[in-house]
Amino acid sequence: MRRGFSNLAVENDEDGIDITPMLDVVFIMLIFFIVTASFVKESGIEVNRPDASTSTAKPRASILVAINDLGEIWINKRQIDVGQVRANIERLHAENPQGTVVVQADEEAKTKTLVAVMDAAREAGVTNVSLATEKK
């Protein structure tokens, strides 16, 4: 009778489904989607950009800075002070040195704030600074 129970225990171990290959495929697909995904960068607020007939798209705009009509400056969904723009751009530019800075200024934003942001970006070492507009 003992022999019958020992054979039964061995059969139960072999009857299980091995899901290791399925997990391997799932992890490989996960890695593939993470590597190929393009993440959308947002400045944090929506602004009314001015119209321009000569506007062109920037494919690698990695640093977005928004200026609203009240003169508030937003980077990565956080409102910052004019004095903090340079440090934030330096940090983001260190993460992606090939990226560019795009300033999304509202139509009613003051030129003084726009110039201060663009100067801070250039002082941070970014030479490619653009102004976002709407295509006419």
pLDDT tens for 9-30 read: 555 556 678 888 899 999 999 9
The CA distance from 113 to 82, in Å, is: 8
Q: How confident is the model at residue 127 (pLDDT cuts 50, 70, 90)?
A: confident
Average pLDDT over residues 33-40: 72
Residue 43 three-state SS:
coil
Closest to 131 (Cα-Cα) out of 77, 41, 123, 107: 107
Residue scoring higher pLDDT (61 or 100):
100
Question: What does the pLDDT read at residue 87?
Answer: 94
Tens of pLDDT, residues 44-93:
667 767 777 776 776 666 788 999 989 999 998 899 999 999 999 999 88
